[in-house]
Structure 1
C-alpha cells in the first residue's frame, strides 16, 4: 500500500464495511428486545384465549351430559377460529366420557390432573394438552381437556437468512466498486501531476498538467496550475539561457577567427624573441575555441533525444579507436592507454556522440594519471545493466564528496584549478549527458589502491 490510490481505496472500503457492520449490529440489538417482549405477550394471550375456550366448552359439555345422561360419542371441535382444537370431557375420577379418538397425551394429562387436583398445560409432539376442572350446577366434578395446536417455541431474531452470504458478497463487491471509482477519481489529478513532473525531470520542458477551469477551487487543481506556471517559467529561463550560450558562442567565433588571422600576420613580422609569447597566445586561443565547441555541444545535447542519431554501434571498434587516439596523445607525456578486456557488444545510438563521451573520459584520465603508468580500458557486459565500459587511471583520485559533482558543467576539483591539466570542466558533463540520452548511466569511484574509476553502462541493442 505504497501508493495513495491503494491507501484511499483500502480505507474507503474499510470505512464502508465498518459502517455497515455497526448499523447491522444496532439494528439487530434494537429488534431483539422489543420483539421478545411482543412475543411474550402473544404467548400469554393465546394461553388465556385457549383457557376461556376450554372453560366454555367444559361448562356446555357438562350441562349437555347431565341433561341427556348419555356418554358423548367422541371428541368435540371447539376450534372456533382455531382449527384442530379438540375438546374431551372426563369424570372427576378421570374416567372418559368420550370413548373414541382420545389421544394418549390427553389421557395422561387427565390422570395427572386427577392426582394433582387441578388443571395444567403440557406440551408434546408439536401439540399442547390443556386440562381444566369443571363443577356442574349439581356439585359434581368433571375434567375438561383439549388438544391444542402447539405454541411455536420462541426463537431469537436471526438476521442471517439463507441468502445472507450472497447479500454480504454483493455488499462487498458494490462497496469495492464504489470505493475504487472514488479513489481513482480523487487520485487522477495527482497521477497527472506526477507524470508531468517525471517528464519535466527527464528534460521535456513542454510537460504540463493541464488542470482545467472546471475544478476551480480544488486544492489539487490549484497545485496543478501552480506547477504549470512553474514549468512555463523554467522553460522560459532555460530556453533563454541556451539561446544566450549559443549566441555568445557563435559571436565569440568571429573574433577568434580574426585573432588567428592576426596571429599569423604577426608571426611573419615578429622578431624571434616574440615567438614564445605568440605561441602562448595561440595555445590560449585554441583552448578558448575548444571551450566554445564544447559549450555548443552541451547546448545541443540539452535539446534531448531528438539530437541523437540511430545506428548500430560496435563497441569493440569504438573502444579501440578511442584507446589508440588516447595512447598517441599520452605517449608524449610518458603515459600509456591500454585495453585490458574487450567483448563483442553492440548498442543502438549516435556513434560520434558515444565516441566523444568515451574520449572525454579517457583524455581526462590521461591528464591525471601518474607519469609512467597506464590508463586501463575494459569493455564487458553486465546481465542487469548491459554493456559496461570501465576507464581507470592511476592518479590522485577525487575527494569522495566530489564524485558526483565532477559531471556538472564547469566543475573542477579545487586543487586542479591551479594546474595546467585542469581542463575546461565541460568534458565530463558532455559525457554524462550523452550517456543519459542513450539510456545509460555514468559513475565515478576511487579505486582501493589509488586512482579514479569511471564506469559507463549502456543498454545493449
Structure 2
C-alpha cells in the first residue's frame, strides 16, 4: 500500500533550502524562548525582591493609618514601632508613620480577621495614580520573611498586572502588591526585537543558502546537461568534475568510468554488427556461387543441351564438385557457430607430438611434392579435443600448401616452456600481405578480392583455427619472420600434474 504522504515535486535546491530554513526556524524559536524565559525569570525575581522589601514599610503605614480603632484586632502600636509577625520592627523613630516614600509604587491593603478591608494605601508614580490590583479573597498569608508572590490582574479588567503577597499581622492580614508594567513592557519589547531579528536572520539565511546550494549543485546541473548529450548519442562526452576530493567529484569519476565501459560496449556492438553484416554478405555470396553452378548445370541437363555422354559426365562432375564445396562451406559455418556458443571442449589426455606427426603425414599425402618436416622432440602431454586440434593443424598446413609455390618446403616445430606448448608452422612463400598480420584470422578474409575461390577457399580456415585454439585457452599469432615466408604460432596450455590444463 502506497503512503498517502507525498513530498511536493520540488527541486533538490528548493528542498535543501526549505529544510535548512525550517531547521533554522526551530533553532531560533528555541533560542528566543530560552532567552525570553531567562529574562522573564530574572525580572520577576527582581520584582519579587522589591515586593519583599515593600512588605514592612507598607504594612507599617497601613497599621498607622488604622490608628487606635483597630488595636483590638492588630494589637497595640509600640512606641518604637509596630511588630510584624515573623519580622522585626518598622516605623518612624517615635511610632509615627514611616519616613520616606513607599518603594516601587507599591499598593497595600489591610484586612481584619473576617477578611473585611479596613484600610488601603497606595502611592503615585511621577504624579500618576497606580491602578488598583484585583486581590483574591482567599489569598493565603505567610511570614514576611518567606512570602509567596502571585500574579494578579487589575480591578475592572484592565491590562495592568501585579505581583502580590499576603503576610499575617496579629489576627489580620496585610496584602502588598507591586505593579508589573515596566517588567511586562521590557518583555514585550524583547519579544518584538526577537521576532524582527529572527525574521531578518531567516531571510538572509534563506538567500545565502539559495545561492550556496546553487553553487554546490552547479556541477550536478552540468552533469545533467552532459547526460542529455550522451543520451542523444554523443558517447564521447565526459562529466566534470572528476576527482576524489568531493562527493560530486567522486560521482563524476564513477560516471566517467561507466561511460568508458558503455562507449566500449557500444563500439564492440557496432563492430560486431559490422562483422555480422559482412559475415552474412560473404556467406550469402559464397553460397550463391556453388548454387548458381549447380542450377546452371542442372538446367542444361534438363533442357537436353548436354546430350553427349562426355558433356553429361562433365555436368554431373561439376554439380558434385560444387555440392562438395558448398557442403564444406556449411560445415565450416557450423563449426564456427558451435565455437561461438562458448562451450567447453571435450578434453582428453593427448600427446601433442603425435597429433603433429599425423598432420604432417596427411599433408605429405595431399602434397607429395612438398618437403614437410617436423623438428625432433619428445612427447608433450596436453588435455584437449583431439579432433579439434587435428583440424587446427590440418587447416594451417593446407593454408601453407595453397598459398605457396609448388615445391616450397614447410616446417613444423614444437617447443615447451613451464606451462605452455608452442607449435610453429612456417613456410617459405611470399609471406603475409602488409598490414596487421593477425587480420588473416578474421572470417572470410582473403589476400586479394580478385583471387579465385578455387585457390583461396571461403576464407574460413584460419578463422576456425583461431576460434578452436581460443576455446582451448590458447592463442594463435601470425607474422613475417626474418628470412621470408609466413610463420603461424599456436600456444596451448600443457597438462599439469593435477590434471588441470595450464595450472602449475
Normalization by structure 2: what TM-score? 0.40
More helix by share: 1
Q: TM-score by structure 1 length?
A: 0.43
